[in-house]
Amino acid sequence: MATLEHAGSIPLGLRRADEASSTRLRALAWIAGWWLLGRGVIVLAAVGVHTFGPAGWIRRVEHSSVLGPLEAWDTRWYRMVAGSGYLLVPGRQSDPAFFPLFPVLMRGLHAAGLGYSTSGLVIANAAFFVALAAFYALTKAMLGDSMARRSVAYLAVFPFGFAFSMVYPESIVLALIALAALAAIRGRWGWAAACAGAAALARPEGLFVALPLAVLAWEQRHALSPRARGVAIGAVLAPVAAIGSFSLYLWQVLGNPMAWSQSQRAWGRELSPFGLVNAIGGLGRAFAHDAWVTRDVAAVVVYLVLLAAAARAGVSWPWLLSGLAIVVLPLFTGSFDSIDRFGLLAPAAFWGLAALGRDPRVNRLILGLSVPLLAAAIVVLPLRFP
Amino acid sequence: MSREPDERRFASGWVTLGVAGAVVAAVLGAGVLVQRAALPSPSAATLAGLHAGVWLERYRLVDSTITLDGSVVRGRCLQDWFVSGGQRRRGAVLRLDDGYVLLAVPPHTLTATGGAPAIRSVSPLVLMELAGCPRVLARRLQTLAQQHRGLTLRGDTLTFRLKATRVTLTLDPQTHAPTGVELVARGTHGVSQIRFTPVTTRLRELLSVSHG
């Protein structure tokens, strides 16, 4: 059926494949640009902190190298797990509070000759590029290209996103959450199970990807074979199984399957129905103890506003609910601490921001504010007790 | 014939459930395997130190029989709250049967009264360690265990350093509870047998000291 016109030219299928691959490459280059901008700001700010201070709570060891400020706060815990494994010391802050996937990866790279902290930095920053790419693909599949572009740009320079470049597992978890949902949308439930399980093995917030996965599985139920339905159900349950595997491991090693939950108590975190009331009631005391709690309270407000914007923009309820769980559930431990970081794992918040950014003036405002705030977050990092 | 679709649906339901179970089991198993293969387990010395620390944290009163440079004394060390400088603070009081009383309330209070001159010439830290004062030993054990260094386990004895002293705890082979202390410091060598004792109100009143 080939015509003269087609003779000697590239077959249509191949040409389409070529176009698709060049579009994909262009998108990846564009994502890499945003990744470079955001990470560049952070690295420059870290170099500034290293050179000019302030020293604050950052110890000498973290000031000794140029990127040392990015190894502050909880890095030592992940380094301890990667180097020596888990140990629960009753009544003391202990490392089972830190989930195992990130230290396992750090240990893997360490075996290749890198130090634990350097391994953590390499993994976190590389995983953030994967997270941006996966988040772009997921958002494009759900909400279209322009929302995807804005979401990725805002995520890359989001002021609280400095944690994506520190020795923290947030970038891995976000990448795995996005990949799990993307795989589910494409009907690749085996991959969805692997990514969802791995996300929960890196941070407990990974558990909440189960909700969007459950709804996707339900929507696809008629199109799936009985076997594929089984894999889909398995994917929904995979995060719970992964957390179970952590408990099982701790039981074998320390004789205490709930060590990861118990060790949180030494940080003053314990889930309770009255936790939210205690967190709000204790704000005055928390503020007197450490005024930086203001930033955490502001983070909660910002995330809730963004989730409301996402709801108005028509983001589906399972994503909204999982975002709400990520932001609000930690408050039930009686503390506002670290919610700026936890909220990074709520994709719906960034969809809400992208929806607000439809207005070009708001878009300019968001980008114009985010970049200096991101740099400022690194500069003031030593002033905050971890 | 009409039951066939029902049976097929029933069978496919079992397939779905079986596959779902297999996926969950695979995630669970893979998770445990990865952690076991990749992460180191704490050493026996670290775990022994941790368990000994837990025993010491569990009790506030320790009875001891101390042999120090040839002389034998009996002691009782109580961890309690004390009023020091107008504030309630945690500290320890050590009473020996020769009349020696040591009160240690960090950060500023360390007073010793009574007792034989030979005992009074010994460092308060040495006496507290030999008497098995729980908090002093527990804190050090927990710190070393958490750092995964500085603890040596040989059979039922656990050795570590505390400031300028080298302490060897004898552990009960079954419960890992400390039962004895051997201490070496510059010019001092002492051993003791220790026994954990539940605190009663009467004992607390008997052992406590008033301190402004």
Nearest chain A CA: its distance from B114 CA (Å): 36
Domain ranges of chain A: 28-383
Q: pLDDT tens string for chain A (386 positions)? A: 444 455 456 677 777 778 888 888 999 999 999 999 999 999 999 998 888 877 666 666 666 788 888 988 899 999 999 999 999 988 888 999 999 999 999 999 999 999 999 999 999 999 999 999 999 999 999 999 999 999 999 999 999 999 999 999 999 999 999 999 999 999 999 999 999 999 999 999 999 999 999 999 999 999 999 999 999 999 999 999 999 999 999 999 999 999 998 888 888 788 888 888 888 888 888 788 777 888 899 999 999 999 999 999 999 999 999 999 999 999 998 888 889 999 999 999 999 999 999 999 999 999 999 999 999 999 888 877 66
A85:B18 CB<8 A: no
Q: Angle, nearest 10°, between helix axes A360-379 and A12-52?
A: 40
What angle do helix axes A347-356 and A145-157 make, rounded to 10 degrees? Answer: 110
Q: What is the assigned CATH class of domain B44-207?
A: mainly beta
Rounded to 10 deg, the angle between the B44-58 and B134-147 helix axes is 150
Test mutation, B15, B33, B34, B35, chain A, max A CBs within 10 A: B35
Question: Please, which residues 302-331 of chain A have a Cβ atom closer than 8 Å to chain B?
Answer: none
B57 neighbourhood in chain A, CB within 8 Å: 90-91
Beta strands B157-162; B87-96: pairing state: unpaired
Q: For residues A202 and B203, give the distance between their C-alpha atoms in angstroms, rounded to a whole number.
A: 50
Alpha-carbon distances, residue A239 vs A128, A176, A337, A372, B182 (angstroms): 21, 11, 24, 36, 50
Q: Is the dihedral of CA A296, A301, A307, A309 positive or negative?
A: negative
Q: What is the chain A residue with the closest CA to B46?
A: A87
Q: Which residue has the tokens 């176009």?
A: A19
CA distance B15 to A230: 7
Distance of CA A274 to the CA centre of its chain: 27
SS3 state of residue B183: strand
Q: Distance between CA B191 and CA A220 in Å, rounded?
A: 73
The position carrying tokens 């939210």 is A276
DSSP A145-180: HHHHHHHHHHHHH-GGGGGGGSSSSHHHHHHHHHHH
Higher pLDDT, B42 or A198: A198
Which residues in chain B are contacts of A240 at CB distance < 8 A?
Answer: 24
Q: Chain B: nearest CA to A177, how far in angstroms?
A: 16
Tell me, what's the pLDDT at A1? 45
pLDDT at A183: 98
pLDDT digits (tens, 9 = 90+) for B127-147: 999 999 999 999 999 999 998
Q: Are A41 and A375 in contact (CB under 8 A)?
A: yes
Pairing assessment for the beta strands B101-105 and B87-96 based on DSSP bridges: antiparallel
Q: Hey, is the C-beta of B90 within 8 angstroms of any chain A C-beta?
A: no
Q: What is residue B144's predicted lDDT score, i.e. its pLDDT?
A: 94
Tell the residue number behind the tokens 């902290």, with chain if given: A117
Distance from CA of B185 to the nearest CA of A (A): 28
Alpha-carbon distance values, A83 to A256, A276, B89, B150, B151 (Å): 21, 36, 37, 16, 17
User: Is residue B125 over pLDDT 70?
Assistant: yes
Domain residue ranges in chain B: 1-39, 44-207
Give ipTM to 2 decimals.
Answer: 0.89
pLDDT band for B2, please (50, 70, 90 cuts): low
The answer to whether B23 contacts A90, with C-beta atoms less than 8 Å apart, is no
Nearest to B54 among A90, A100, A252 (CB): A90
What tokens does A213 get?
A: 């996965």
As a whole-number percent, the residues of chain B with pLDDT over 70 amount to: 96
Q: Tell me how many helices (H) and strands (E) chain B has.
A: 6, 10
CB contact under 8 A, B16 and A233: yes
- Distance between the two ends of chain A, CA-based, in angstroms? 69
* Residue B204, pLDDT above cutoff 70: yes
pLDDT for the residue B76:
93
Give me the torsion for CA of A101, A102, A106, A107, rounded to 10°. -30
- B103 pairs with which residues across the strands? B93, B111
Q: Say what the pLDDT of residue B212 is.
A: 46
What's the pLDDT tens digit per position in B172-183? 998 889 999 999
Contact A207, A347 (CB under 8 A): no
Consecutive H or E run containing A37 = helix A12-52
Q: Tell me, what's the pLDDT at A2?
A: 45
Helix axis angle for A189-202 and A226-254, nearest 10°, is 20
| More confident of the two residues A187 and B89 | A187
